Each structure stands twice: as C-alpha cells, then as structure tokens.
Structure 1
Amino acid sequence: MRQVVCKHILFWVEENLYTGKNIADLALSCGYTRRTLELWFSGTYGISPGQYLFKRRMTRAAVLLRLSSLSVTEISTLLNHSNNQNFARAFKRFAGKSPTEYRNSKEWDLSVMQASLYYKVDIDTNITLCSLPDRYLKGDTYLCHDSYLYNEKNTLTQQIKEGVIRLITNGVKDVYLKGVTSIPDSLMKNREGRLDAKITLGEIIDDEEQSTTLMPGGKFCRYFFQCCWDEYYYNTNHFFIQMMSENNFRFTGKECYVHYTGHKETIGHEVSCEVFVPVK
C-alpha cells in the first residue's frame, strides 16, 4: 500500500503543478493523514511531499523562464502566486536568483532543478564528461515542433523515429542527430509548451564539402540509454533534467547531438541512444 500511495503522490504532483493545491488537498485525495504521507514519502524518496511539490513547481517555473517568452507576471499567475513579489521570493529561495536574473543568465543552470520522480526510470546511463572534435554530418534537415511538457504533442519524436528506422533499415550502422530548439514567436505556442526544433539526421563523414552541416566540438556531458520508441520522448525529457541537475552542469544552449544504433530486425521497436549535451 505504501508503494501505491507514494506513486499516487508523484502523479498528483504532476497533475497539480498549476492548480495551487497544497499538501492538505493531497492528504484529502489519498485518505491518509498528512503525517502518514510525510513518513511514507520521505522514507521512500528522501524528500517531504511539500518540498517535492515546491521544487517541482519551481522547476516548471525555471523551464518556462528559459524555454518560453511568457512574462514573469504570467508565469507567476500560472503557478498561482498572489503577486510577482511573492513569486520572486519563492523562486530566489529555490534558485538563488530572481526570475529575471535566471532567465537572462548566459548559461542555463539546471543544478537546482527537481526531475519528475513520476517519470523516473532506473537505467544505468553511464554519464561521463568528454571532449569532441569538430565533425561533419551528411543527411536530411527537418523543421519540427517539440514540447518541454510531458506530452506527445510534438512532431520531433515522430520525425526522429521515422528517420532512424529508415537509415538503419537501409544499412547505416551509426546514425547521428544534430539538433537545436528555439522559442517560437507565437504566444499561443508558448502557452502550449511548444518549441521550434531544427534537426539534421544522417551519417558522420570526413569530407567537409560533401557534408550538410558542421557539428562543432567542445565539452559535453555524455550519457547512454536504451528504450522502446514509446518511452523515448519521456526518457529524453526526464534524463536531460536528471543528468544536468544531479551533476551540477550548466547547459550552454548550443546544439545537442545523439548517436543512434540498433538492429534492422528490432529498430522499429527499440533503439540505443548516446546523448551529448554541451555543458560548462
């Protein structure tokens, strides 16, 4: 029962990031006392339900500040703060910076963020730091829609899936992706949690003249995971925050790379991913 209740708490938190409900409302939904929930949840995850809810809400605020053009006032209202000053104090307690300072920082500091435990998968990602040289990529370039929310309203995942399956089925052993996202101009898209994405999918080659694009080298956080395509979107979203926050990395905002491998017979279902995120 304890495991079931703790899982319910994780789900409840994700469903109530914007509602303004508190731990008393959570206890009412569970049918257990607040004290019982505190003991069970803290014993399982090492953090109280109240602190976890606060950190998840502030993590969403941090994402909105960095990946949308929504005003601080609108973000404050979305997260049910009574006024901007109240939100600014709460966010500074979380991140050590005001919302405006956090948004305008050159690098994105994800060290304070709380990854969702609801979507957590126990996978050995074998995280390392590495340096990569400049490389050349030859392939096809696509403009897609991405989302920083845990939903499937994006064309990016489907475009990647179709491209990787096609290339590996046609005999390409190592498929590489170069990708970068940008904030859309449309306020409606910002409110829907959408991003514009530009990706190039293909093979690494030696000839610069034959290449489609340059993959600039530098310092990268490297991690690995293997999953079925149905889990790919959730894993990429979750691992990005988890890897960056747990290792105190700062994202430089430059292009990310992914190295895909798989077998012709199983690539339609399962894929192996080696991810490279530029960090400082």
Structure 2
Amino acid sequence: MPVLQHIGADKGQIAHDARLNQRQLLQVLDYLNDHLDQEIKLADLANLLGISQFHFSRLFRQSVGLSPYQYLLQQRIETAKQLLKQTDDSIMEIALRCGFNSHSHLTQQFRKFTGITPSRYRSDR
C-alpha cells in the first residue's frame, strides 16, 4: 500500500484527496474491463490491491469520480451500446456479454443511462 502524505496531517490520518496511483488504477480498470461479463464484487477489487473494501471504494471514487459500481455500470452500458451498433446479437446475448443477468436488467439500466431502450438505440443506428 502506498504511503499517503499530507502536509499537516496527524499520524494515521489519511489525506482527503488521496487517490489510487496510476499502476493501481490501471490494474483495477483492466480487471473491470476484462471481467465485464462476470459478477464483480467490491471485495475482489480491494483484494487486487491488498486494501480494505472501504479504503478501496474511497480511493477509487477520488480517482475516477464515480463509485466502483457506478463505473462498472457505465462501462457495461458503453459496451452494450457498441455491441448494439456493431452486431446483430440478441438483446439477451448482449445483456449476458455485458454482465447483466437478464434482458430486463439491461433495459432498465440502459434506459437510466441513455433515456431510451436498447431496442430503440439499435433501431436508431
């Protein structure tokens, strides 16, 4: 775990603007992108770096601007958008490839992020 320094901070106090270093961030982002189709738990990500879930979540949010879950959803939706535009795979196949457990879960999250359904997004291509 990297040593976090903050001028004027008491011993044991972690700086409020602490972030993951570049190597850690790339390691986590690569893992997320390589495992989009799988269930990813906060514990899995924290264990990659050998830190607590709470600490990881806070550092990730400071580094990326989103919670790990929000980032994962965003990446899954972006991947679904690409697949909808570039393939003729069914919505269910795309849902599974992007880590959603059902057509309806993908549709619900897709609509939250884009304002339209995956079917509508595909038909607008």
Common fold: TM-score over 0.5: yes
1:54 aligned onto 2:73:
yes
Aligned length: 106
Give the match for residue 50 of structure 2: 31
Report the Cα distance in structure 1 between the residues aligned to 2:102 and 2:64, rounded to whole angstroms: 32
Counterpart CA distance in 1 for 2:103 and 2:74 is 18
- Given candidates 108, 113, 122, the residue that maps to 1:89 is 108
* Aligned-residue offset at 1:50: 1.6
Give 2:26's aligned residue. 7
2:42, 2:53 within 8 Å by CA — same for their partners in 1? yes
Higher relative helix content: 2
1:66 equivalenced with 2:85 (yes/no): yes
The two structures, once aligned, show a CA RMSD in angstroms of 1.6
Cα deviation for residue 57 of structure 1 reads 0.9
Distance 2:96 2:71 in 1: 20
Partner of 2:99: 80
Identical-residue share of aligned pairs (%): 25
Over residues 70-129 of structure 1, what are the superposed CA-to-partner deviations in whole Å (9 max), with x where a residue is unaligned? 1101111222322211221111112111110111125xxxxxxxxxxxxxxxxxxxxxxx
Residue of structure 2 aligned with 1:22, choices 41, 53, 63: 41
| Residue aligning to 1:103 | 122
The TM-score with structure 2 as length reference comes to 0.74
Judge conservation of contact 2:36–2:99 (CA < 8 Å) in 1: no
C-alpha deviation, 1:33, in angstroms: 1.4
- Counterpart Cα distance in 2 of 1:47 and 1:66: 26
Deviation at 1:46, TM superposition (A): 1.7
Q: Is the 8 A contact 1:20 1:79 kept in 2?
A: no
* Paired letter, 1:81: F
| Alpha-carbon separation, structure 2, partners of 1:20 and 1:47 | 19
> What one-letter code is carried by the residue in structure 2 that aligns with 1:72?
I
Q: Structure 2: where are the runs of 5+ without partners?
A: 3-19
Q: Distance in 1 between matches of 2:34 and 2:101?
A: 20
Segments of structure 1 that go 5 or more residues without pairing to the other structure are 107-280
List structure 1 runs of 4+ shifted beyond 4 angstroms. none
Q: Which amino acid aligns with 2:58?
A: L
1:40 has 2:56 as partner: no
Q: TM-score, normalised by structure 1?
A: 0.36
